[in-house]
Structure 1
Amino acid sequence: MSLQVCIMTPDRIFWNDSAEEIILPTNTGQMGVLTNHAPLITALDIGVMLIRAKNDWISVALMGGFALVKQNKVTVLVNEAESAKTIDAQEAENSFLTAKNKLEQAEGPKQKVEANFAFKRARARYQVVKQAKK
């Protein structure tokens, strides 16, 4: 038996297929889901979701949202999702380094919050393209 996983953004169904295992980036850390997982709803942080389908790991950058796990069905509702196919590797690396520098130089609460948000987005996109190269 496997999980039925559906990733939805406001404008489309990003991914809808079966998987043996997933790892979600929740607000409290990474959370793995296997078949027959207990029902739950969790908030998702900006980060990388890993999907194991047919012995291959697929990485997806998620930009925050929610996940519902119930009866071997996982519904992921996110603001935005990207795969390595749609991310330019060089642009992702440059954005990551720029965001990291801005976060280190941020002063004041507002600037730090904005810089941290940009850093998380850039890091997630960069991690997806790095994992795709492996």
Structure 2
Amino acid sequence: MSLQISILTPERPFWNGQAEEIILPTETGEMGVLKNHAPIITGLDVGAMLVRTKDQWNSFAIMGGFAVVKNNLVTILANEAESASTIDPEDAKNAFENAKNNLENAEGIKQKVEANFIFKRAKARFQVIKVVNKIS
């Protein structure tokens, strides 16, 4: 038996399927999960999540949330999720570059916090596109 993955967002069930491995963007770094992983609940950071099925790697941009791992079932409660297949590569690259420039030029705490949030989201979407291009 492999892992059963469920990704849920506030709007809808986002993705369900079987996987051999999943790499999560946690608040303390990336965490890999294989079959028979110890039970755990972890916070998710904004970042790229990778799911390896028997046939291929799938990548998703996850915009924070939580993950629960127990008995080969991985339930992800994400604030937002986006599949690499729905992200326009050129838009993702441009948004990343703009967000990076805005972060570098931000002044004051409020502006820096807001720019950092936008940068992390743009970076996650851009990473997902780069991963797909490397795997393909």
TM-score scaled to structure 1, two decimals?
0.97
Secondary structure in structure 2 of the residue aligned to 1:125? helix
**Structure 2 CA distance, aligned partners of 1:69 and 1:126?**
27
Percent identity, please.
Answer: 67
Q: Deviations over 1:18-54 (max 9, x none)?
A: 0000000000000010111111110000000010101
**Structure 2 CA distance, aligned partners of 1:131 and 1:28?**
21
Write out the 4+ residue segments of structure 1 that deviate beyond 3 Å after TM superposition: none
Q: Partner of 1:110 in structure 2?
A: 110
Matches within 5 A, 1:76-115: 76-115=76-115
Instruction: Tell me by how many angstroms 1:55 deviates.
Output: 4.2
Instruction: Tell me by how many angstroms 1:85 deviates.
Output: 1.5
1:12 and 2:12 matched: yes
1:24 and 2:4 matched: no
Q: Deviations over 1:51-87 (max 9, x none)?
A: 0101411110000000000100000000111112211
Secondary structure in structure 1 of the residue aligned to 2:107? coil
Moved more, 26-35 or 48-57: 48-57
Structure 1 gaps of 5+ residues are: none
Secondary structure in structure 1 of the residue aligned to 2:52? strand
Structure 2 gaps of 5+ residues are: none
Instruction: Tell me by how many angstroms 1:133 deviates.
Output: 2.0
Matches within 5 A, 1:23-102: 23-102=23-102
Letter in 2 for 1:13: P
Aligned residues: 134
**Structure 2 CA distance, aligned partners of 1:110 and 1:27?**
22
TM-score scaled to structure 2, two decimals?
0.95
Letter in 1 for 2:107: E
1:119 and 2:119 matched: yes
